[in-house]
């Protein structure tokens, strides 16, 4: 199983589960990053850089193993998603940064990784199941989404 995590869930992780209190959580999280079980498209790093300095400093240490660079196949699928669901990229707080919002790339990466691997791919996001949000659009491509707390439960992590 490969889990792709959204900016919203990473921010939730840092804000609701501080490392000083949840050391075991971060050990589990870091181990799963190092094992390749948790990944994210590079666009998430760009969003984080604009929003959260502490989170950026933590995740930059995992840049090569955690963040997935955009290849042509992911780029084409992201363009298709943007074309079909243009509401997905509205109001994401990245105006004037020159960076693309991560959401379509997160979904596109899930689709492409699902094609390339035997394992299932799931998305971790704090977005609700509203129309034209990550869970809704990912579901149309048969990719399951969950909140970060659901991910902890699925992994059977105890703190």
pLDDT in tens, the chain (159 residues): 999 999 999 999 999 999 999 999 999 999 999 999 999 999 999 999 988 788 999 999 999 999 999 999 999 999 999 999 988 876 454 444 456 789 999 999 999 988 887 678 999 999 888 888 999 999 999 999 999 999 999 999 988
Tokens of 58: 């933590």
- Paired strand residues for 40: 67
Closest CA to 39 of 119, 121, 103, 112: 121
Closest CA to 62 of 42, 25, 24, 34: 34
When the candidates are 3.40.50.1010, 1.10.10.10, 3.40.449.10, 3.30.200.20, the CATH number that belongs to 2-155 is 3.40.50.1010
- Paired strand residues for 34: none
Closest CA to 8 of 52, 38, 42: 52
The structural domains of the chain, with segments of one domain joined by +, span 2-155
Q: By the 8 A CB rule, do 13 and 148 touch?
A: yes
């Amino acid at each position: 199983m490969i889990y792709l995590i959204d900016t919203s869930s990473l921010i939730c992780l840092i804000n609701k589960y501080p490392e000083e209190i949840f050391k075991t959580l971060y050990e589990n999280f870091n181990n799963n990053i190092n094992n390749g079980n948790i990944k994210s498209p590079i666009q998430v790093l760009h969003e984080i850089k604009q929003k959260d300095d502490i989170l950026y400093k933590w995740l930059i240490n995992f840049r090569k193993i955690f963040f997935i660079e955009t290849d042509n196949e992911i780029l084409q699928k992201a363009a298709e998603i943007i074309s079909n669901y243009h509401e997905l990229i509205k109001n994401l707080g990245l105006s004037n940064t020159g960076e693309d919002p991560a959401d379509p790339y997160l979904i596109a990466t899930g689709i492409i990784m699902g094609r390339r691997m035997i394992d299932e791919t799931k998305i971790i996001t704090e977005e609700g199941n509203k129309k034209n949000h990550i869970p809704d659009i990912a579901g149309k491509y048969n990719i399951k989404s969950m909140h970060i707390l659901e991910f902890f439960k699925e992994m059977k992590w105890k703190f």
